[in-house]
A and B are shown apart, each in its own frame.
Chain A
Amino acid sequence: MFNARRLILAHFWIAIAAFLGALILGEWQMIVRSPLHAWVDNPEHYYRSLTAHGSAMGYVFPTLIAMGFGYAISVSALKRNLLGLRWAWVALALVVVGALAAMITVGLGRASVLYTFYPPLVGHAFYYLGIVLVVVGSWVWVVLLSLNLRAWRKEHPGVKVPLAMFANVAGAYLWAWTAVGAALEILLQILPVAFGWKTTIDAGLARVLFSWTLHAIVYFWLMPAYIAYYTIVPRAIGGRLYSDTMARFSFALFLVFAMPIGVHHLFADPMVGSGIKVMHTIFTGMVAVPTFLTVFTICASVELAARMRGGRGIIGWLGALPWKNPAMLAVAFSFVMLGLGGAGGLINMSYQLDSTVHNTQWITGHFHLIFAGAIVIMYFVIAYDLWPQLTGRALQSLSLMRLQLWLWFLGMMILTLPWHLSGLLGMPRRMAYFDYTHVATSPYAWTVIVSVLGGAMVLISGVLFVAILAKGHRTERVGVEPYRFSVALHEHATAPRALNGFAVWIALMVALTLVNYGFPIWQLSRIESTSVPAIYVGGDQ
């Protein structure tokens, strides 16, 4: 890993620490709002936990994984030391300080506003400042990746950018632009109120600004997983990537369409016009395209690997796959969850169907299935794949890794599928307790109990994951070969210019942002009468 080995390890371990803590909180939440437990003593504790869990899992954990993996890709794909290593450590420090500031503030009960903020509810300023620091740290990462790619390009003019780095930087640019929405909300609206310089806030404008970030942030989380699909899995299972060009095209499409579609989170909101909602629906349909393309390319690549191993028949080749390989297991599990979660996403995208599930537990089940399920299971694969490079030691416990992945998959399915059902039955979100004896809510009871069991499996799997990685620091040292990414079936020395650079895609992304968000934001910021008094939480006011 050239000069970045310790840097990357630090990112992963801090990410995993946040992950484990949030996982424990998650299962506690699940238990305490289920029929298996008495109503939580103080509802504020539940919302405190919810804020911590969401902030850690949404802002800290995936950001650190993306950053660490991003540095690993930069040095391994470009085959050079990381430029700006000291700045990378500064960025990590910003993220850690920010995360601690936020978590301690939440832990003290001063900012139980949930990770989606939801003004006019306003918590203590240190929570928001903490999030800002995390985002600033990630922006430093974006700049570093960009600079490293530029330096490499200067030394290799006209050469095709390695796919992993192309996707890596595309994801970084996407994140940089998408974070602007929440940054505007926090810096211009929330922090002035949290500090007491202003006492009113426009909730409608805040929700629109947050929706700018809210959808594409999940694509920021998804990027490492998709990069793993394309550049790790085919190599790990002994195959080839079906198409390098299609892969680049998919990432370019993500860069364009992932961000300007956030208003589909606001279908039921009164402050956005219906025409804007239709525009966002159309483009949300477009963002499904790169996922569909990915499914094809990866399935084809997997079939390729099977046939290279002697697989025969229309589906008989499945048996020839290296199922003992954790990467193979993980990608299969991930695709099952991606299929189910993606279908759920298509349902959410339609205004009519969304009306039946908006703000019910269907939504919570959906994003746990797709993020905690399909994506995080690939984070495990990334960690397992990089670990020998990072530690200089072999990761030995293949069977334990398989067990861990099985537990995660089965746990996730058992956790989230009944969760979807409870949402269809109407169970509302974010309630600290339910009266399960009432005729309206008693149908939910069994779904919640089953989800608790799934959550327990998930928690055990998470602990196993940590144990496997920890053990990986203590096995015997081995010589490791330089890290390799997957090779395409038809390798070309050059790529089309549009798929070797980002200018046109970034231009489209910004232009679409203007078209899709420009008027609502401009108009909402002009209206004075919609600013309402802030409601401060967690302190005597």
Chain B
Amino acid sequence: MSRIGVWGVLATLALVLLGGFLGFVWLPQSQDPSLSPFAAWCSALGVPRTWLASASIRPEVPTSEVLLTHELLGVQDDSDRGHGATLALRCSMCHGPTGISYADSPNLAGQYAAVIYKQLHDYRSGARSSPIMTPMARTLSDLEMRQLSAYYAGLSKPAGSTLIGNAPAIIRWGAPMRNVAPCGSCHGDIDHTMASPWLKGEPQNYLRAQLMAFASGARTNDINGQMRAMVQGMTPAEIEAAARYYAGDAK
């Protein structure tokens, strides 16, 4: 190897040693003198350790027990939908025989399966409470909840366009400086996130009531307080505009 090559290797080695000393010995110890050299070395390398995590804390307010992963519902087939149809007979009084309700109960037709499953699960676990839904959900097993979800997801959605052109500002842009995201970024006009319900065609009264429940903290089954954070930044006019937009032609 030529002289330049030798010098190059030696210089690089020297830099590695210098960097090693600075990064793994001197700086970590100056930041936290209580650390042993070995601990300082490991920490600087990036070996994971815990700190300030303290004892595991259980939430005081009931929250959803559902773990949102892509495997949430497993594989669903026609037999699941068939069983779901049978189970859905007892739901049809409020939610309509085709999943489109006559009253202010939410329409379930065409709703994402993960959404329906999660709400049923939350009713059963107490994360979400309703005098009507809680006892009904308690009679369902986990498999039955999946089957109901598969059934309703397979029905045709209520009518409503997805054009963002005539949506109010809160749907399209949210309220940036108040930490409110555009509704459409999760609920479908712009993009869709996992377990965010499809809102088009839902009854206006129902939508308004749920938004108010999030705002007051009465409803707490939104994962990580996501909806509560959103709605707490919205003005009453924006809540009204959102409910009206999503209800659309439906009353």
User: Is there a direct interface between A and B, measured as CB atoms under 8 Å apart in the complex?
Assistant: yes
Q: Are A534 and B70 in contact (CB under 8 A)?
A: yes
Whether A273 touches B47, Cβ cut-off 8 Å, given contacts A43-B182, A43-B190, is yes
How many angstroms between the C-alpha atoms of A498 and B45 in the bound complex? 33
Give Cα distance in the complex from A249 to B68, angstroms. Answer: 55
Partner of A275, one of B3, B24, B165, B177: B24
Residues in B neighbouring A498, C-beta threshold 8 A? 1-5, 8
Confirm or deny: A541 has a beta carbon within 8 angstroms of a beta carbon on chain B. yes
A35 interface contact, C-beta 8 A:
no
B193 CB-CB contact with A under 8 Å: yes
Bound complex: CA of A70 vs CA of B71, how far in Å? 49
B151-170 contacts to A, CB under 8 A, are: 164-165
> 12 A-B pairs, CB-CB below 8 angstroms?
A271-B46, A274-B27, A275-B24, A276-B23, A276-B44, A278-B44, A435-B176, A498-B1, A504-B1, A504-B8, A508-B9, A512-B12
With A281-B19, A433-B176, A512-B16 given, can you name 9 additional A-B contacts, CB distance below 8 Å? A200-B69, A279-B16, A283-B19, A433-B173, A496-B3, A496-B4, A499-B4, A508-B8, A523-B47
A283 x B15 contact (CB < 8 A): yes
CB of A111 to closest CB in B, whole Å: 12
CB distance from B81 to the nearest CB of A (A): 18
Contacts A42-B164, A256-B8, A279-B20 given; does A199 touch B176 at CB 8 Å: no
Q: Does A87 lie at the interface of the complex (its beta carbon under 8 Å from any beta carbon of B)? A: no
Residues of B close to A54: CB separation below 8 A: none
Query: Nearest Cβ distance between residue A46 and chain B, in whole angstroms?
Result: 11
Q: List which A427-472 residues lie within 8 A (CB) of chain B.
A: 433-435, 438, 440-441
Is B22 positioned at the interface, with any CB of A under 8 Å from its CB? yes
Contact with B along A504-540 (1 / 0, CB 8 A): 1100100110010001100100010000011101101
Q: What residues on B are CB-neighbors of A44 within 8 Å?
A: 190-191
Query: For A249, what are the chain B residues with a Cβ–Cβ distance below 8 Å?
Result: 4
> At the interface, yes or no: B79 with Cβ under 8 Å from chain A?
no
- Using a CB–CB cutoff of 8 Å, the interface residues on chain A facing chain B are 39, 41-44, 199-200, 249, 252, 256, 271-279, 281-283, 286, 433-435, 438, 440-441, 496-499, 504-505, 508, 511-512, 515, 519-520, 523, 527, 533-535, 537-538, 540-541
Least Cβ–Cβ distance between A393 and chain B, in angstroms:
44
Residue B28 at the chain A interface, CB threshold 8 Å: yes
Q: Is B194 an interface residue (CB 8 A)?
A: yes
Question: Do B5 and A275 touch (CB < 8 A)?
Answer: no
* Per-residue interface assignment for chain B, residues 59 to 81, with 1 indicating a CB less than 8 Å from any chain A CB and 0 otherwise: 00000000011110000000000
Taken together as a complex, chains A and B put the C-alpha atoms of A249 and B2 apart, in Å, by: 13
* Residue B235 at the chain A interface, CB threshold 8 Å: no
Contacts of B15 in A (CB 8 A): 282-283, 286
When the two chains form the complex, which single residue of A256, A277, A278 contacts B12, counting CB atoms closer than 8 Å?
A256
Whole-angstrom CA separation of A200 from B69 in the bound complex: 9
Q: Which residue of A lies closest to B69 (CB)?
A: A533
Of A41, A276, A504, which contacts B46 at CB under 8 A? Answer: A276
Query: Closest CB of chain A to B234's CB: distance in Å?
Result: 15
Is B193 a contact of A535 with CB atoms below 8 Å? yes
Asked if A496 meets B2 with Cβ closer than 8 Å, knowing A276-B23, A279-B20, the reply is yes
Contact with A along B190-204 (1 / 0, CB 8 A): 111110000000000
Question: Does any Cβ of A come within 8 Å of B172's Cβ?
Answer: yes
Given A274-B44, A435-B176, A515-B16, A282-B165 contact (CB < 8 Å): no
B35 to chain A, nearest CB (A): 12
Collect the chain B residues with CB atoms within 8 Å of residue A519's CB: 45-46
Q: Smallest CB–CB gap between A202 and chain B, Å?
A: 13
What's the count of A-B pairs with C-beta under 8 Å? 122
* B164 engages A533 (CB within 8 Å): no
Nearest CB of B to A38, in Å: 10
In the complex the two chains form, what is the Cα distance from A441 to B177 in whole Å? 9
Least distance between B51 CB and chain A CB atoms (Å): 12
Q: Mark B23-35, 1 if CB is under 8 A from A, else 0.
A: 1100110010000
Q: Which residues of A contact B12 (CB under 8 A)?
A: 256, 508, 511-512
- CB-CB < 8 A to B48: which residues of A? 527
Q: Is the CB of B23 within 8 A of A275?
A: yes
Complexed CA–CA distance, A434 and B173 (Å): 10
* B250 close to chain A: CB less than 8 A: no
Check B185 for interface membership: any CB of A closer than 8 A: yes
Q: Does B210 contact A (CB under 8 A)?
A: no
Which A residues are CB-close (under 8 A) to B5? Answer: 497-498, 504
For B71, give the chain A residue with the smallest CB separation.
A199
Chain A CB within 10 Å — which of B8, B165, B191 has the most? Answer: B191
Q: Does B226 contact A (CB under 8 A)?
A: no
Residue of A nearest to B175 (CB): A435
Q: Which residues of chain B are near A273, meaning CB under 8 Å?
A: 43-47
Question: B114 — nearest CB in chain A belongs to which residue?
Answer: A541
A199 engages B191 (CB within 8 Å): no
Bound complex: CA of A278 vs CA of B31, how far in Å? 14
CB of A41 within 8 A of CB of B28, answer: no
Q: Chain B residues near A275: list those with CB within 8 A.
A: 20, 23-24, 27-28, 41, 44-46
Asked whether any CB of chain A lies closer than 8 Å to the CB of B223, the reply is: no
What's the Cα separation between A523 and B3 when bound, in Å?
37
Indicate whether A39 sits within 8 Å of B173 (C-beta atoms), given known contacts A273-B43, A278-B22: yes
Chain B residue nearest in CB terms to A534: B70
B18 interfacial by beta-carbon distance below 8 Å: yes
Which residues does chain B contribute within 8 Å of A272, judged by CB atoms?
Answer: 46
Look across to chain A and name the residue whose beta carbon is closest to the beta carbon of B25. Answer: A275
CB distance from B6 to the nearest CB of A (A): 9
Chain B residue, CB-CB nearest to A515: B16
Supposing A273-B43, A273-B46, A286-B15 touch, asked if A278 and B185 sit within 8 A by C-beta, the answer is no
